[in-house]
């Protein structure tokens, strides 16, 4: 019996859904293959999250609690992760593919001499490793990869697996950890524009995303109103984040975030492959674009060919009626 | 100030691709400088133009990758090292990071910069691996860089906000293409690039052991991504379209 370990990422006091998706998958694989599904929570208030993690089938939960984890910093996180790998000796160690994970995954692999596959959309166990599918070439193509070894790291794109509750009574193991701030060579000075209570794009059920077509004030007001009627998160194409019109953390695509909402409404977005790379897994895609040949229509379930300034006002009115 | 920028040659993702028997076949053989590395080169040029210093690019790859090195030199990098490999090696990020770490062992530098990921694989691993091998403080996903005495100040796009991180030099940073708009080489730049120093080192002369060069991960095949079913496209009066689609989303899809 081997250990399948999942890293539970916590940000702003909330567990990232991407971590629970990975844990759900790990628990399923553990049951099918006679392994044990375990989890590790590394946070300033790690123990607060044990109950939530138990719901997804972890039979053992490691906690590492230290004030240093209040904000993401790579040095202490790496130290904690190396420590838990020593302790748990995981055959596979899974992560949700968040920015914090991307910051440390390569370094952790180098540190522990583990094989690593990042940003996968599917993974399976084999006798001596894992097999995965990863989107490559701006997500136009899927590649099959395999990794072999005793410790394998894998990060999984958000939305790749459904949440699946299978409550257990987990053994909780608190790992002793201390970090002397003088060990920090890199210093975190401040965090600007943190989203606070805004909806996390990678977890949003509904997203209204705006592109260059909606770059002026009137366009921005319309998409904000649409988002508010639908209680949706706002997203953006690179054209708007680059121009400083929308916040950089809202960028969706190859450089930006990968999202998988139930409903994605693309307004004034052409549908470049690098944008589509981040949103093609949305359940229902609506596109509003005045160019009937815009590539976004190739992947949209519902395409509205028209000027967004003329389409959005009646669309918003209709949605308000439906909502009330 | 000495900047090293690690650059990689990648297939042009915009060129048509086919898959034959699990292998990728590109209709054109077009290879380009990884977009994220181009941003790293640009930023190194801007910082050394402002604060003085030198930019050297390093690439591990086959002979054909020389054209990509030339591109970086034409943008304005001062010199280059090409670590040459065979054409058909199946190395992964970990192997490239080991090779680069070996190269840097006896070098002096203030900053090493990498792309935040490779445009073809999106792996995003080699940078932080290299930092770890060289025991350097590092930051990933930089969207802005500035210099402050002996520190590199990085604006990093995190999960939510942007983190301002001070890195004592020497350090390593991985760059997003959100950082800048890389310059297009001028004709003069292209002419000058031919006379700039380019050192070539054969990977086989670097004394790396078998273990360092054997990848723990392998690509076993490629597949087309399943296409989404084509949907419905509506043209006509905005009021009618808006009403029709809103109703469909509510009644057919149940997503409102
Ligand atoms: C390595 C790399 C990574 C990248 N990563 C990303 C990424 O993560 N995310 C991303 O989005 N892009 C990314 N890009 C950029 C991408 O290639 C495109 O340039 C970008 O997505 C274009 O944004 P857009 O669709 O808003 O703008 P455009 O392509 O200019 O499209 C604007 C659209 O708006 C329509 N329009 C204009 N006016 C109206 C109107 N009044 N009513 C209705 N429609 C209108 C036009 O018909 C057009 O289709 C990346 C590029 C590279 C090279
Ligand atoms: C479609 C496709 C085609 C491929 N074709 C080839 C091919 O023709 N030849 C081949 O060797 N491999 C090829 N590969 C394999 C892949 O490119 C290698 O695994 C890759 O070089 C390892 O780096 P990475 O992409 O994992 O880098 P990442 O970890 O994503 O790279 C991050 C950064 O590390 C630095 N870096 C990475 N690699 C190098 C390098 N070699 N030299 C200098 N700096 C580097 C760069 O700054 C880069 O931005 C292909 C992969 C795919 C998906």
The domains of chain B are located at: 2-213
C-alpha to C-alpha distance for A158 and A90, rounded to whole angstroms: 22
Report if residue A190 sits inside a domain: no
CB B31 near ligand 2, within 6 Å: no
Residues of B in contact with A262 (CB under 8 A): 255
Measure B191 CA to nearest chain A CA, in Å.
31
Q: Do B128 and A254 touch (CB under 8 A)?
A: no
CB B81 near ligand 2, within 6 Å: no
Whether residue A283 sits in one domain with residue A173: no
B218 to chain A, any CB pair closer than 8 A? The answer is yes
Looking at chain B from residue 31 to 90, which residues have their Cβ under 8 Å from any Cβ of chain A? none
Residue B96 neighbours by CB under 8 Å, 6+ apart: B8, B60, B126
Residue finishing a domain among A183, A210, A226:
A183
Model pLDDT for residues B102-141, shown as the tens digit of each residue: 999 999 999 999 999 999 999 999 999 999 999 999 999 9
Token duo for residue B10: 């990648």
Whether residue A15 sits in one domain with residue A55: yes
Q: Which pLDDT does position A183 carry in this prediction?
A: 87
Q: Which pLDDT does position A304 carry in this prediction?
A: 98
Report if residue A194 sits inside a domain: no
Whether residue A162 sits in one domain with residue A68: yes
Return phi, psi of residue B42, to 5°: -55, -50
Residue A291 neighbours by CB under 8 Å, 6+ apart: A270, A305
Whether residue A208 sits in one domain with residue A177: no
Measure A150 CA to nearest chain B CA, in Å.
11
Residues of A in contact with B126 (CB under 8 A): 106
CB B34 near ligand 2, within 6 Å: yes
- Residue in A with minimal Cα distance to B19: A141
Q: Which pLDDT does position A196 carry in this prediction?
A: 63
Residues of A in contact with B116 (CB under 8 A): 102
Question: What is the pTM assigned to this prediction?
Answer: 0.96
Angle between helices B66-75 and B35-51 (to 10 degrees): 40
Report if residue A189 sits inside a domain: no
Looking at chain B from residue 105 to 134, which residues have their Cβ under 8 Å from any Cβ of chain A? 116, 119-133
Report if residue A303 sits inside a domain: yes
Residue finishing a domain among A151, A183, A215:
A183
Residues of B in contact with A196 (CB under 8 A): 160
Contacts across the A-B interface (CB distance below 8 Å) = 264
Helix (H, G, I), strand (E, B) or coil at A110: helix
Angle between helices A217-230 and A308-323 (to 10 degrees): 20
Ligand in closest contact with the CA of B182: 1
Residues of A in contact with B119 (CB under 8 A): 138, 254
C-alpha to C-alpha distance for B57 and B172, rounded to whole angstroms: 14
Whether residue A106 sits in one domain with residue A59: yes
Residues at CB less than 6 angstroms from ligand 1: A 211-213, 237-239, 251-256, 268-270, 272, 274-275, 278, 288-291, 294, 307-309; B 35, 119, 177
Whether residue A308 sits in one domain with residue A172: no
Helix (H, G, I), strand (E, B) or coil at A242: helix
Whether residue A211 sits in one domain with residue A178: no
Residue B151 Cα distances to A321, B110, B127, B146, B166, angstroms: 56, 9, 19, 9, 6
C-alpha to C-alpha distance for B187 and B193, rounded to whole angstroms: 10
Angle between helices A99-112 and B93-104 (to 10 degrees): 70
Sign of CA dihedral B132, B138, B142, B144: negative
Find out whether A80 and A112 touch, Cβ atoms under 8 Å. Answer: no
Ligand in closest contact with the CA of A256: 1
Burial class (CB in 10 A: 0-12, 13-18, 19+), B205: exposed
Whether residue A148 sits in one domain with residue A20: yes
Q: Which of B83, B8, B81 is nearest to B39 (CA)?
A: B8
Residue A13 neighbours by CB under 8 Å, 6+ apart: A45, A48
Report if residue A193 sits inside a domain: no
Range of the structural domain that residue A39 is part of = 3-183
CB B61 near ligand 2, within 6 Å: yes
Return phi, psi of residue B151, to 5°: -120, 145
Whether residue A127 sits in one domain with residue A230: no
Q: Do B235 and A318 touch (CB under 8 A)?
A: no
Q: Which among B40, B77, B126 is the best mutation to test ligand 2's pocket, defined by most ligand atoms within 8 Å of the CB?
A: B126
Q: Which pLDDT does position A197 carry in this prediction?
A: 63
Q: What residues in chain A have per-residue pLDDT under 70?
A: 195-197
Alpha-carbon A127 to chain mean position: 28
Find out whether A311 and A288 touch, Cβ atoms under 8 Å. Answer: yes
Q: DSSP state, A100?
A: H
Taking residues B3-9, report their average pLDDT. Answer: 98
Helix (H, G, I), strand (E, B) or coil at A151: coil
B209 to chain A, any CB pair closer than 8 A? The answer is no
Interface test with B, best of A14, A76, A186 (most B CBs within 10 A): A186
B25 to chain A, any CB pair closer than 8 A? The answer is no
- Helix (H) / strand (E) element for B130: namely helix B126-133
Q: Cis peptide before B170, with omega less than 30 degrees from 0?
A: yes
**E strands of B27-170, at which residues?**
31-33, 54-61, 79-84, 111-115, 138-148, 151-157, 162-168
Domain count, chain A: 2
Q: Which pLDDT does position A287 carry in this prediction?
A: 98
Q: Which of A160, A262, A161 is nearest to A208 (CA)?
A: A262
Task: Kindly give the number of the ligand 1 atom that is closest to the alpha carbon of A309.
Answer: 41
Report if residue A264 sits inside a domain: yes
Find out whether A290 and A213 touch, Cβ atoms under 8 Å. Answer: yes
For chain B, report the end-to-end CA distance as a whole number of angstroms: 56
Model pLDDT for residues A290-316, shown as the tens digit of each residue: 999 999 999 999 999 999 999 999 999
C-alpha to C-alpha distance for A88 and B202, rounded to whole angstroms: 41
Structure ipTM: 0.96
Q: DSSP state, B186?
A: P
Q: Which pLDDT does position A114 carry in this prediction?
A: 97
C-alpha to C-alpha distance for A170 and A54, rounded to whole angstroms: 6
Find out whether A188 and A71 touch, Cβ atoms under 8 Å. Answer: yes
CATH of the domain at A50: 3.40.50.620
Whether residue A303 sits in one domain with residue A162: no
Whether residue A142 sits in one domain with residue A40: yes
CATH number for region B2-213: 3.40.50.620
CB B89 near ligand 2, within 6 Å: yes
Whether residue A89 sits in one domain with residue A30: yes
C-alpha to C-alpha distance for A296 and A269, rounded to whole angstroms: 7
Model pLDDT for residues B34-83, shown as the tens digit of each residue: 999 999 999 999 999 999 999 999 999 999 999 999 999 999 999 999 99
| Count of CB atoms situated within 10 Å of the CB of B52 | 8
């Amino acid at each position: 019996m081997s250990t399948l370990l999942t890293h539970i990422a916590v940000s702003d006091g909330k567990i990232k859904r991407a971590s629970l998706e990975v844990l759900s998958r790990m628990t399923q694989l553990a049951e099918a293959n006679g392994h044990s599904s375990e989890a590790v929570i590394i946070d300033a208030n790690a123990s607060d999250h044990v109950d939530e993690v138990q719901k997804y089938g972890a039979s053992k939960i490691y906690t590492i609690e230290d004030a240093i984890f209040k904000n993401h910093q790579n040095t202490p996180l790496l130290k904690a992760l190396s420590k838990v790998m020593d302790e748990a000796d995981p055959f596979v160690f899974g992560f949700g593919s968040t920015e914090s994970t991307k910051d440390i995954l390569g370094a952790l692999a180098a540190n522990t001499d583990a094989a690593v596959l990042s940003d996968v959309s599917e993974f399976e166990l084999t006798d001596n490793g894992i097999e995965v599918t990863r989107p490559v070439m701006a997500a136009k193509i899927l590649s099959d990869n395999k990794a072999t070894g005793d410790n394998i790291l894998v990060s999984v794109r958000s939305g790749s697996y459904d949440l699946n509750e299978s409550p257990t009574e987990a053994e909780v193991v608190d790992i002793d950890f201390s970090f002397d701030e003088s060990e920090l060579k890199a210093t975190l000075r401040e965090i600007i524009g943190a989203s606070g209570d805004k909806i996390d794009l990678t977890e949003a059920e509904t997203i209204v995303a705006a592109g260059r077509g909606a770059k002026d004030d009137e366009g921005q007001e319309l998409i904000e109103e649409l988002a508010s009627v639908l209680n949706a998160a706002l997203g953006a194409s690179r054209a708007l984040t680059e121009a400083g019109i929308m916040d950089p953390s809202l960028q969706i695509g190859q450089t930006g975030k990968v999202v998988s909402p139930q409903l994605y409404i693309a307004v004034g977005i052409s549908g470049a492959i690098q944008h589509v790379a981040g949103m093609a897994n949305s359940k229902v895609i609506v596109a509003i674009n005045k160019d009937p040949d815009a590539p976004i229509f190739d992947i949209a379930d519902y395409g509205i060919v028209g000027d967004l300034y003329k389409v959005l006002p009646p669309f918003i009115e209709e949605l308000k009626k439906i909502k009330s | 100030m000495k900047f090293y920028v690690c650059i990689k040659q990648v297939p042009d993702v915009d060129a048509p691709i086919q898959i034959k028997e699990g292998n990728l076949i590109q209709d054109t053989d077009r290879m380009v400088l990884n977009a994220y590395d181009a941003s790293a080169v640009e930023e190194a040029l801007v910082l050394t133009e402002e604060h003085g210093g030198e930019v050297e690019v390093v690439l591990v790859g086959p002979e054909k990758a020389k054209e990509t090195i030339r591109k970086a030199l034409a943008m304005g990098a001062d010199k280059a090292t090409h670590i040459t490999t065979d054409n058909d090696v199946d190395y992964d990020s970990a192997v490239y990071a080991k090779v680069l770490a070996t190269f840097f062992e006896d070098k002096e530098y203030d900053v090493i910069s990498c792309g935040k990921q490779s445009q073809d694989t999106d792996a995003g691993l080699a940078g932080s691996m290299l930092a770890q091998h060289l025991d350097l403080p590092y930051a990933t996903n930089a969207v802005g860089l500035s210099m402050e005495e002996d520190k590199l100040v990085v604006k990093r796009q995190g999960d939510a906000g942007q983190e301002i991180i001070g890195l004592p030099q020497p350090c390593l940073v991985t760059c997003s293409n959100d950082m800048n708009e890389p310059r297009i080489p001028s004709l003069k730049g292209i002419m000058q690039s031919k006379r700039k120093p380019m050192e070539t080192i054969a990977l086989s002369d670097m004394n790396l052991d078998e273990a360092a060069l054997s990848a723990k991960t392998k690509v076993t095949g490629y597949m087309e991504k399943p296409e989404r079913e084509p949907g419905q496209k509506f043209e006509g009066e905005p009021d009618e379209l808006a009403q029709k689609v809103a109703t469909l989303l509510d009644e057919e899809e149940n997503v409102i």
